Structure 1
């Protein structure tokens, strides 16, 4: 049975290279060319605590490589052993019962020695996000008494679920306090207290913990049980920005970004605003006013267009001889459904038969509204149309609405002409 894997990332979150002995390596059934390996120790942080795993590569070391490392000590980096085709990619890292499993794209021999190298850019980004989340959750807990009941740190976003409602103003205030803590460059300490020491520590945790408990303490802001790597000082987080929030299961879900991810997000937002400002020939801070004015102008134009469309439809309705029992009109596909409904209601009040307006075209199909006076059932028209065409929709006897495909304007007029 494999022994627990030594977690080198607990000792130093900033280390990037390590050597280890291969305890086991087995092919994964059903996965083409993937292997699951266990090392006696590792720097690779697994998927755990709501956080994605580390990325990186491992290299198989020869006897000569091992001697070189012994002679050179820490002065020789993993790059000296990289030969391209000998790189073994770490595709995933998982943990179960304190044994860490590395999912590889090549096989390793049991008992061999490897040199591992993590993608520190990815590791450090996760450290920034996770440390920022701790400060945010610590402030929410101390200020409002809400618990962090859900946490997810992916490669694109960080989300936290809190047990109570937070208003936009309250969230803005928390964001400001978190960034103040970042500017203060407070110490962040990760350690394993003894059971006696742990009993006297007031710390946050999502669940009851047994065994050794790792505590991450942000000076003056938070004390929380956590298994993940963190930055040493809050200043390394750089910045925290809330990028979204919503009510969620009676509480609040908050999305944040920290460090480089936050910078990239804000740069993207800035570039978009600058582009819009250029298109609108205005300054960035005046964009909302310009957009609001344009929305009002568009609404006015839509009303005018709708009124003109209603006049035209009424003119077409007036052209239909009074002795025509069933009336069918055609309208433009962009017609306002409210206008269509009003004209249909007018026709129903004046005629004894079915009255319908179809708006669309032969190529993309038509939408329709059909009405009739008491004693008739508009659904009977749909029954006739369905005999030859694909019709969706329905309604009450007095009025139905829906869409029709595969019918030309001539087909529709012919069907109406056959109604009793």
Structure 2
């Protein structure tokens, strides 16, 4: 198949294009019929270089995926096109420009990291939600913040972003970043004074169009660091969402922004203290209920509300030392079902678990001494089977 002409290389800002259909293959995928279409030329950037593909339509048919193999670009559509017909395509400009902002911002950040620390970007992922970069060296939070600030300074300078296709001779004299060995023509994206990198994706014309760059998260990863960023309108939307959350929290806790962490920490400590008090009270109440069980009772089954696993286990352990049969604690209700711990020092507790599993579809397991699990059934049904 003839290589697809990449119109996005000629003009990353073009939105509409015309093309001829070279092939259309019907494919069955996950019980759905889709159509894989190859055009003589396209504006649709495929999934490549760690970046998600463009979105849009061809002949008003949604394009649900775009892939590339051996320089042939395949568009996945929901309906077929006629081979040989002329078609009109339109990309989703908002999605395309957002990806351009993210990718150009990543080049600035990675270029600055490489210049200052010598680390390479060895992993890059640009999805519709996040941008991640993996560097083969560790950055401190302070160092990453410095790079973030410098990146925004470069955005503010509105530096031209140049795309070139150097010859092999020119390429041999060029110092550029590249994560992989590239066969054939190499496409170079240059941001003067910041970065020179081999890249196949569309980029903004000038750095000012990136608007802003913000680090969202960083973590140690495979001996280096993984940094997540957002740029442009995505960063603005992220800031808007966090502002709404911050406003709701400050209002709920009657605290201003500066004292919010202190207020949350105080609330967390109070909550933990109350949890401890409730746990102690539940344990004491459970012990009182256990004491009320007649000592000569052989089998004991108790149904309680909202017990945690440790209280249940402790209760069963106490019961089996005082009663010779099978003892169990069930916690929950008839609507949502019950969790259970069942034990015995003289019989095989698994026999009860087997009955609950076979008759009521219970889940769980354990040893002869104790089993635990869950069951969706009413209390009366459970007692009728095990009593």
**TM-score, length-scaled by structure 1:** 0.78
Partner of 1:155: 128
Partner of 1:326: 299
* 1:379-420 Cα deviation digits (max 9, x unpaired): 34435555644333333344332223435257438734xxxx
Partner of 2:70: 97
The yes-or-no answer on 1:281 pairing with 2:258 is: no
- RMSD (Å), alpha carbons: 3.2
Q: Which runs of 5+ in 1 are unaligned?
A: 59-85
- Corresponding residue SS for 2:331: strand
> Is the Cα–Cα contact under 8 Å of residues 324 and 344 in structure 2 kept in the other structure?
yes
The yes-or-no answer on 1:28 pairing with 2:29 is: no
Partner of 1:365: 337
Q: CA deviation at 1:352?
A: 3.7
**In 1, Cα distance between equivalents of 2:12 and 2:233:** 18
**In 2, Cα distance between equivalents of 1:6 and 1:411:** 69
- Judging changes above 3 Å, is the alpha-carbon distance between structure 1 residues 315 and 220 closer, same or farther for their aligned structure 2 residues? same
> Is the Cα–Cα contact under 8 Å of residues 369 and 401 in structure 1 kept in the other structure?
yes
Number of residue pairs matched?
Answer: 382
Note the 1:19-418 alignment, pairs <5 A. Answer: 22=20, 24-30=21-27, 34=35, 36-39=37-40, 41-56=41-56, 92-101=65-74, 107=81, 110=84, 117-332=90-305, 334-373=306-345, 375-383=346-354, 385-386=356-357, 388-406=359-377, 408-409=379-380, 411-412=382-383, 415-416=386-387
**In 2, Cα distance between equivalents of 1:233 and 1:207:** 26
> Is the Cα–Cα contact under 8 Å of residues 328 and 413 in structure 1 kept in the other structure?
no
**In 2, Cα distance between equivalents of 1:376 and 1:56:** 67
* 1:88-146 Cα deviation digits (max 9, x unpaired): 6665544443344556657467385x665544333322211110111122233334443
Q: Which runs of 5+ in 2 are unaligned?
A: none
Q: CA deviation at 1:178?
A: 1.9
**In 2, Cα distance between equivalents of 1:352 and 1:120:** 74
- Corresponding residue SS for 2:27: coil
Partner of 2:13: 14
> Is the Cα–Cα contact under 8 Å of residues 317 and 329 in structure 1 kept in the other structure?
no
Q: Which has the larger radius of gyration?
A: 1
> Is the Cα–Cα contact under 8 Å of residues 192 and 215 in structure 1 kept in the other structure?
yes
Q: CA deviation at 1:189?
A: 1.7
> Is the Cα–Cα contact under 8 Å of residues 188 and 231 in structure 1 kept in the other structure?
yes
**In 1, Cα distance between equivalents of 2:57 and 2:212:** 30
* 1:55-82 Cα deviation digits (max 9, x unpaired): 4556xxxxxxxxxxxxxxxxxxxxxxxx
- Corresponding residue SS for 1:368: strand
**TM-score, length-scaled by structure 2:** 0.84
- Corresponding residue SS for 1:197: helix
